[in-house]
Amino acid sequence: MKDRSKRIMNFRYDRFEDTENKLEKLAAKGLFLEVCGSFSWTFRKGTPKKLKYTVTYFSEGSVFNPDITDNQQTYIDYAKAAGWNFVTQFNQMQIFSSETDNSIPFETDEKEKLNNIKRCMNKSFILPMIAMILVFLLNLIVQFNSFQLNPIDYLSDPIRLLSSSMIAAAVIYHVYSLMTYYIWLKHSEKSIALGGECVKNSRIMYKIVDIISMFILFGSLGYLLFFLAFKTSRFGLVLTVAQVPILMIVFWSSIKYLKKKKASATVNKLISYTVLTVASFAYLALFMAFIMRFGFGISNESNYQTVNWQLSETESYEYRLYSDEIPLTSEDLYGPIDYNYYSYEMEIDNTFFLSKSVYRQDSPPAKDAPPRIEYEILEPQFDFVYRLAKAHLLEIPEWRDNTTFELIDNKIFDTEEAYQLYYENTPTGEYTLFFGDRIITLNMKEPLTTKQISIVKEKLHI
Amino acid sequence: MARDKYQTLTEQMFYILICLTQESYGVDIMKKVEELTNGRVIIGPGTLYSLLDNFVRENIIIETKIENRKKNYIITSFGTEMLEKEYLRVTKLKRDYEALIKGGEQN
């Protein structure tokens, strides 16, 4: 039987009483804390006994310190004299235990205790929290920008929607954490000013919110991975899932190695963060190389063959030719075509807001390439999504001032509203068709004839 | 700043400074205060460390030497002045109490 046990501990710096209670309960079950980390804590197995734990904060504490500092040793010596044995530390958090019931309380001046907590929280809790909120907000701004640029792509992409909502939930949770800390701080200050002590910060409500937040976080993460498993190749999925653990292993290995080499805390911090930054970029480069080589959005299950296409005398490129079932083909519109390099592609995205189906019959570039077609069917689930999609589809960038959308007769496609794109006053094969509950865009080689229109209507069930 | 912060001393501060009228090291102070007050005032290790650290920063005490990793401290003249002021303040409180409460009872 293993004599060590690792546990995932969800702790918060400002809720030290929760950690103390948890450790006391585990000691009563025969699990004694040995090492604590940011996520996983190590326990030694032994005979259950009653132990008292205290979680305190020491401003000089840091994971980058090569050893216990002299001041920290003095702190530990004082604790020892008062009956408290040093157990372990993580950053500024210091954990002590005592076997005696009548050991001297670790803190006997509530004002000093609060001042010390405040000082350490600013470094270990508030600053990282604010930094995380800023990073998340920046990410949300980027997401919002991508939504503004193309609301159709954004609202039909489950991964982007899920990651945005996860980030938004993380911002809310971090702001909530900061708020509860400041509320506790204000209550404690008031209590101390009236001769009382720091108030307890372990309300049942906080625990419920924590459990719900963790449930949402892990639930969304699980859904995201489940979704990626069906959308990406296995190696792509492994790369995505392994990113955070690999980078964390690199970061912590660097810290541990430099600590072993007795590098100063400043040198260790500088080198380890540099290693983390370089590793992040290297990982990103590996990821991009993988996407460029194998693609990412197409499943392994897709039915395709590759052709090595000669672009010029010296240059060639490997193209993928897919054989997806698409409802309307160039052959349907233009008659039999004797061509072996067509790629029949279908991409379907579904979300709570919008369903988007893109169909494409494409061919590698060539002067005498046969006709290519592309069409898109949008099914918005809400009126506002319909309006957003419509506005986006009819938007013409300023630089395309030679292009216009012209209204066409609704009878042609049995639409509620229909447009044809004109380029320098000449009609093109691009149509945007609005129905009551769906929108269809057609991108054909040239304007459709009456016969072709009836084929389109039949094949797309218009 | 120190004057504002330590205009009045807590019992723990008061006894720490009394102990440091003689050169002492941290753990000694903890024990001495307990003995001096027959266990009425006890100082936790966290509080002791914070108070000594603050006192050094405010020049109320100074570090004298480090023996076997043990830091020794002694009170400064500024610290002595503070202690004296606290004594006068508490004495005044005592006098006022006697005059207003005990004296009032006699009348």
Residue B71 and residue A74: Cβ atoms within 8 Å? yes
DSSP 8-class letter at A105: P
The residues pairing with A40 across neighbouring beta strands, listed in sequence order, are A8
The minimal CB distance from A81 to the residues B10, B45, B46 is found for: B45
CA distance A247 to A232: 21
> How open is the CA angle B94-B96-B100, to the nearest 5 degrees?
125
Q: Could you report the per-residue pLDDT of A132-181, keeping only the tens digit for each?
A: 899 999 999 999 999 999 999 999 998 888 888 888 988 998 999 899 88
Q: Does B39 reach chain A within 8 Å, measured CB to CB?
A: no
This complex has an ipTM of: 0.88
Q: Search chain B and give the residue with CA nearest A72.
A: B49
Q: How confident is the model at residue A208, as a pLDDT?
A: 84
Task: Supply the DSSP string of A2-66, one letter for each residue.
Answer: -SEEEEE----TT-HHHHHHHHHHHHHTTEEEEE--SSEEEEEE------EEEEEE-TT--TT-S
Count other Cβ atoms within 10 Å, centred on residue A446: 10
3-state secondary structure of A444: coil
CA gap A438, A414 in Å, rounded? 12
* Mean pLDDT for the stretch of residues A188-212: 82
Q: What does the pLDDT look like over A89-132, one tens digit per residue?
A: 988 899 999 988 777 899 999 888 898 888 888 887 888 889 98
Nearest CB neighbour to A84, from listed B45, B47, B54: B45
Q: Residues with Cβ < 8 Å from B72, sequence gap 6 or more?
A: B23, B24, B25, B63, B64, B65, B66
- State whether A106 and B46 contact (CB < 8 Å): yes
Nearest to B44 among A74, A104, A115 (CB): A104
How far apart (Å, rounded) are the C-alpha atoms in residues A159 and B38? 68
Q: Of residues A76 and A241, which shows the higher confidence score?
A: A76
Q: How far apart are CA B25 and CA B14, in angstroms?
A: 16
Q: Average of pLDDT values for A13-38? A: 89
Reported as a pLDDT band with limits 50, 70 and 90, residue A217 is confident
Please state, as a whole number, how many other Cβ atoms lie within 10 Å of the Cβ of residue A154.
Answer: 22
Q: Are A95 and A55 in contact (CB under 8 A)?
A: yes
For the stretch A267-295, pLDDT in tens is 999 999 999 999 999 998 988 887 777 66
Distance from CA of B68 to the nearest CA of A (A): 11
Residue B65 has pLDDT above 90, yes or no: no
> Residue A104 has what pLDDT?
86
Determine contact: B64 vs chain A, CB below 8 A: no
What's the gap in Å between the CA of A97 and the closest CA on chain B?
Answer: 13
Please give the domain boundaries of chain B with CATH numbers for all domains: 2-106 (1.10.10.10)
Identify the residue among A85, A104, A106, A117 best suited for mutation to test binding to B, counting B beta carbons within 10 A and taking the highest.
Answer: A104
- Comparing C-alpha atoms, which of A23, A6, A7 is closest to residue A15? A23
**pLDDT value at position B4?**
59
Q: Which of B12, B27, B69 sits opposite A108 (nearest CB)?
A: B12
Determine the distance in angstroms separating the CA of A105 from the nearest CA of chain B, rounded to an integer. Answer: 5
Q: Do B12 and A75 count as a contact with CB atoms less than 8 A apart?
A: no
* pLDDT for the residue numbered B5: 67
Q: Which of A38, A46, A49, A60 has its CA nearest to residue A5?
A: A46
Q: How far is CA A102 from CA A49, A84, A109, B46, in A?
A: 16, 11, 18, 16
Nearest by CB to residue A109, choosing from B12, B26, B31, is: B12
Residues of chain B with pLDDT > 70, as a percent, come to 91
Mean pLDDT of chain A: 88
* pLDDT reading at A371 higher than 50: yes
pLDDT (tens digit, 9 = 90+) per residue, A302-323? 678 888 888 788 888 888 899 9
Preferred mutation among B50, B51, B67, B69 to probe A, highest tally of A CBs within 10 A: B50
Q: What is the chain B residue with the closest CA to A95?
A: B46
Specify the amino acid at residue A105.
P
Which of A130, A8, A123 lies closest to A63, judged by CA? A123
Residues of chain B in contact with residue A92, where contact means CB-CB under 8 angstroms, are none
Task: Tell me if A129 sits within 8 A of A203, measured CB to CB.
Answer: no
Q: Angle at the Cα of B23 (from B20 to B28), degrees rounded to 5?
A: 75
Instruction: Please report the pLDDT score of residue A212 as a whole number.
Output: 86
From B106's Cα to the closest Cα of chain A, the distance in A is 32
